[in-house]
Amino acid sequence: MSSTSLIELNNVSKTYSTAAGDFPALKNINLKVGGGEFLGIVGKSGAGKSTLLNMINGVDELTEGEVLVAERADGRKLSIHDMSEDARSLWRGKNMGVIYQSFQLLPMLNLLENIMLPMDLSNNFHPRRSRERAMELLQLVELEEHAQKLPAFISGGQQQRVAIARALANDPLILVADEPTGSLDSLTADHIFDVFEHLVHDQGKTIIMVTHDMGLASRFSRSLTIADGELQNGQDALNFDRTTAGQK
């Protein structure tokens, strides 16, 4: 692994086995992401965007290759898929916020509790502080007045914003976001983009976001295209932004 990239995918392939036979959803992906990048991955429905994110966040197993991540403090390299599932969740809890395309809110917890949960599971914050912080994050996504509601009683776009707030709960170094503005109107999507840009530019966070909205490409610090499970312009995928790399 090069000394400065934060995330590195080497020859990553993912093949789904289905009743109809094997389906290659990702084909030999090579990608380097620098610390402090706002990387957008754009592609049509079915191109492999969610599959790719689920390799990077270690939520799903890969068929071939490896995903390496540099550790926060000393630049140590970790192979995400060499960790046990428990170790992986623990690692994610400390280092990576994940926004799922289908939100994955817990239906029996209210919005505040949904956002508190990752903090309480990771012990990153004192329980009193986690409640306070959850409320601040709800304010950030402009949902504080709904704090006590269950997810079933808010709109899809509101659920998406709760999922965004929850991903930020542990103040992760890396944010991995699957169509995080897909259910939002353009004004609200703009606000979320502002929040993301602030995280990258002012706090040195790294964001990897996928979207099918080609119109957003200009707002990323780098944007790549995926089609039929392959990253286009293979060379661009390796040329991460070294000027921001390594920022904290």
Ligand X SMILES: Nc1ncnc2c1ncn2[C@@H]1O[C@H](COP(=O)(O)OP(=O)(O)OP(=O)(O)O)[C@@H](O)[C@H]1O
Note the residues at the interface with Mg ion (CB under 5 A): 49-50, 101
Minimum CB separation of residue 226 from Mg ion in Å reads: 11
Q: How far is the CB of 49 from ligand X (least distance, A)?
A: 3
Question: Considering CB distances under 5 to 8 angstroms, the limit depending on partner class, which of Mg ion, ligand X, none binds residue 51?
Answer: ligand X
The entry of ligand X, Mg ion, none near residue 43 (CB within 5 to 8 angstroms by kind) is ligand X
- Nearest-approach distance from CB 93 to ligand X, in angstroms: 24
Nearest residue to 193 via CA among 230, 164, 223, 172: 164
Count of other CB atoms within 10 angstroms of residue 128: 8
Which of the listed partners (Mg ion, ligand X, none) does 110 bind, with a CB threshold of 5 to 8 Å by partner kind? none
User: Is 40:209 a contact under the CB 8 Å cutoff?
Assistant: yes
Least distance from ligand X to the Cβ atom of residue 89, Å = 20
Regarding 49 and contact with ligand X (CB under 6 A), the answer is yes
- 201, with CB counted inside 10 A (0-12, 13-18, 19+), is middle
DSSP 8-state assignment for residue 173? S
Give which of ligand X, Mg ion, none residue 93 binds (C-beta under 5 to 8 Å, depending on kind): none
Alpha-carbon span 147 to 195, nearest angstrom: 20
Q: Would you call 66 exposed, middle or buried from its count of C-beta atoms within 10 A (0-12, 13-18, 19+)?
A: middle
Q: How many CA atoms lie within 13 A of 89 on its CB side?
A: 6
Q: Does 23 bind ligand X (CB under 6 A)?
A: yes
Spatial distance between the Cα atoms of 133 and 113, rounded to a whole number of angstroms = 11
- 50 versus 225: smaller Cβ distance to Mg ion: 50
Which of 16/153 has CB closer to ligand X? 16
Compute the least distance from the CB of residue 79 to ligand X, in Å.
22
Q: Which of 9, 29, 39, 47 binds ligand X (CB under 6 A)?
A: 47
| Touching ligand X, residues 199-238 (CB under 6 A) | 212
For residue 30, the SS3 value is strand
240 touches 33 (CB < 8 A): yes
Does position 45 bind ligand X by CB under 6 A?
Answer: yes
Name the site residues for ligand X (rule: CB under 6 A).
16, 18, 23, 25, 43, 45-51, 101, 212
